[in-house]
């Protein structure tokens, strides 16, 4: 799960690049860059959750 | 660049290493006494490794000397990605004073970057692993960020290419150093794992307080001196700020740290009945980190407010990371450097008078967050297979000082027994 999250994060970045290239309108750019950041946050959340040890798991 | 500006910038860059010294003291004080010498030696070792790797390769990829660059032409815009300058700083003697000073700044910046994750791995991060991580950060990660943000890379060109304010602004390294450092700290914490006994199977996490509050709080004052110099030097080099604007930059740095400290003090007083010294130190340092992004741009009142916000979320986020997400971060670097750096970059966009600046900041944050964390994590995971980051259990039990250095930092004092922790 952690690696899936780490793959989603660059997807958000490439969405940002696409937004800059495809949308000349400032308002649309702003909204889509926020959406791209939201995608990155989802990826980060998935990565974080993948690293939280489950209850009863072996700990150092 | 006038002679006065060159002389002033050089003088400031000679004082700026005090910021690194402050962070090193803080990180050592927040760790355990059985690992204190290894922690401080590690700071020196990582700074040395970063300087050597940066001169061999990193400076070339950062493109500061500007010899040549990897540039993509997409949608009729030039996107500078990576420098391809001469290795070993060939040609630096004939470069302009501004370029030479910029290289000095980058050497200091990469030194500060590599010690940030070292603090997060306190008490279990091996010296060899730390050096390997420092080499990766200074050879690949930092040069990428520095090229994009400070030199001729695509983030600095957002203003010209897409009319986004003045392009992505990062005056003194809130993004290149602190956000990247915070993400590196997160990667180290995940790969090395928590300290033994930190998260028992049942109940709350075990409190493992720092062993020396005097180091921590002294480090905060030392860091302030270095940060004042750092932010003013960054304003001259990257913003080309006039000399008349520099005192305000210094005032904003102090106000940001002060606002953060007062807020953290109030929050911890309210939550725990008494202020918490180490959390207040974290708040102060987070305020300094936030000022790295915006001290040269915002007004004094805005700097105070921005610092206040930093001081509010710092103790709460430190607690959240440990209790809710089981992240063992002794120095609080993920919050202090990562989150505070991110807030500083956002605040620069919010309080900047320029049209489009907020969007430029968001694009930069998206780039740093979306690309740097996966890159750093994968690099560190690969390095961990070659040079293990984590010490073995026996080594952790006797302490990093005895295990790695053969001698403790405090040989005349009794070290706490392990049974004092659950």
| Token duo for residue B270 | 């309210």
What gap in Å lies between CA B179 and CA B343, rounded to an integer?
10
**Chain B: closest CA distance from residue A55 (Å):** 7
Q: How far apart are CA B253 and CA A53, in angstroms?
A: 39
Size of interface A-B (CB pairs under 8 A): 82
| B207: nearest Cα among B400, B390, B32, B408 | B32
CB contact set of B375 (below 8 Å; sequence gap of 6+): B140, B141
Write the pLDDT tens digit of every residue in B165-185: 889 999 999 999 999 999 999
Q: CB contact, 8 Å: A9 with chain B?
A: yes
Q: What ipTM describes this predicted complex?
A: 0.92
**Chain-centre distance of CA B160, in angstroms?**
28
Mean pLDDT of B25-49: 95
Cα–Cα–Cα angle for B251, B185, B267, rounded to 5 degrees? 50
Contact state of A60 with B366 under an 8 Å Cβ cutoff: no
pLDDT at B66 over 80: no
pLDDT at B372: 95
Please report the pLDDT score of residue B322 as a whole number.
92
Name which of B73, B374, B390 to mutate to probe chain A: the one with the most chain A Cβ atoms within 10 A of its Cβ: B374
Burial track A12-26 (b if 16+ CB lie within 10 A, e otherwise):
bbebbbebbeeeeee
Is B204 or B141 the better-scoring residue by pLDDT?
B141
Choose between B83 and B387: higher pLDDT: B387
What mean pLDDT value characterizes chain A? 87
- Does residue B247 have a pLDDT over 90? yes
- pLDDT for position B200: 83
CA nearest to A21 within chain B: B75
Tokens of B415: 């070290």
Mean pLDDT, to the nearest integer, of B50-74?
Answer: 87
pLDDT at B248 over 50: yes
Residue B416 has pLDDT above 70, yes or no: no
pLDDT range class, residue B422, cuts 50, 70, 90: very low
- Residues B135-145 pLDDT 10s: 999 999 999 99
pLDDT digits (tens, 9 = 90+) for B107-120: 999 999 999 999 99
Q: What is the mean pLDDT of residues B327-337?
A: 95
Strands B69-74 and B77-83: antiparallel
Interface membership of A7 toward B (CB under 8 Å): yes
CB-closest option in A21, A44, A51 to B190: A51
**Taking CB atoms and an 8 Å cutoff, what residues of chain B touch A35?**
none
B163 CA: distance to closest CA in chain A (Å): 9
- Using one digit for the tens of pLDDT, what is the confidence trace for B68-98? 788 888 878 888 888 887 888 888 888 899 9
The residue-averaged pLDDT of B373-377 equals 96
Residue B75's pLDDT is what? Answer: 79
């Amino acid at each position: 799960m952690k690696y899936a999250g780490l793959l989603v994060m660059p997807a958000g970045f490439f969405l940002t690049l696409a937004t800059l290239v495809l949308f000349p309108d400032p308002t649309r750019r702003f909204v889509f860059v926020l959406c791209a950041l939201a995608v990155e946050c989802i990826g980060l959340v998935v990565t974080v959750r993948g690293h939280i040890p489950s209850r009863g798991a072996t700990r150092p | 660049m006038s002679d006065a500006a060159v002389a002033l910038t050089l003088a400031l860059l000679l004082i700026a290493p005090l910021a690194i010294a402050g962070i090193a003291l803080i990180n050592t004080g927040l760790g355990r006494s059985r690992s204190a010498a290894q922690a401080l030696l590690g700071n020196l070792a990582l700074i040395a490794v970063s300087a050597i790797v940066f001169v061999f390769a990193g400076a070339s990829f950062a493109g500061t000397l500007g010899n040549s660059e990897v540039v993509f032409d997409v949608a009729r815009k030039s996107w500078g990605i990576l420098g391809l300058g001469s290795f070993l700083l060939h040609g630096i003697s004939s470069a302009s004073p501004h370029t030479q000073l910029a290289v000095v700044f980058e050497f200091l910046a990469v030194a500060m970057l590599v010690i940030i994750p070292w603090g997060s791995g306190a008490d279990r991060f091996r010296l060899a692993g730390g050096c390997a991580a420092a080499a990766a950060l200074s050879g690949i990660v930092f040069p990428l960020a520095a090229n994009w943000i400070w030199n001729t890379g695509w983030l600095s060109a957002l203003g010209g290419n897409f009319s986004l304010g003045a392009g992505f602004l990062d005056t003194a390294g809130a993004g290149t150093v602190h956000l990247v450092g915070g993400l590196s700290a997160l990667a180290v914490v995940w790969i090395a794992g928590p300290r033994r006994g930190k998260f028992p199977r049942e109940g709350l996490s075990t409190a493992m307080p720092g062993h020396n509050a005097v180091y921590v709080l002294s480090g905060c004052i030392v860091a302030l001196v270095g940060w004042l110099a750092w932010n003013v030097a960054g304003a001259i080099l990257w913003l080309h700020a006039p000399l008349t604007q520099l005192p305000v930059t210094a005032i904003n740095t102090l106000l940001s740290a002060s606002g953060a400290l007062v807020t953290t003090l109030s929050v911890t007083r309210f939550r725990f009945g008494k202020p918490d010294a180490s959390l207040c130190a974290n708040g102060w340092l987070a305020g300094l980190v936030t000022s790295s992004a915006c001290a040269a741009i915002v007004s004094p009142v805005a700097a105070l407010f921005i610092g206040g916000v930093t001081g509010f979320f710092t103790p709460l986020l430190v607690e959240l990371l440990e209790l809710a997400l089981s992240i063992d971060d002794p120095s609080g670097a993920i919050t202090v450097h990562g989150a505070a750096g991110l807030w500083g970059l956002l605040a620069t966009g919010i309080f900047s008078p320029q049209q489009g600046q907020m969007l430029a900041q968001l694009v930069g944050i998206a780039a740093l967050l979306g690309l740097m964390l996966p890159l750093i994590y994968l690099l560190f995971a690969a390095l961990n297979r070659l040079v293990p980051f984590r010490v073995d259990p026996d080594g952790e039990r006797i302490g990093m000082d005895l295990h790695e250095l053969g001698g403790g930092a405090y040989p005349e004092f009794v070290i706490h027994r392990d049974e004092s922790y659950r």
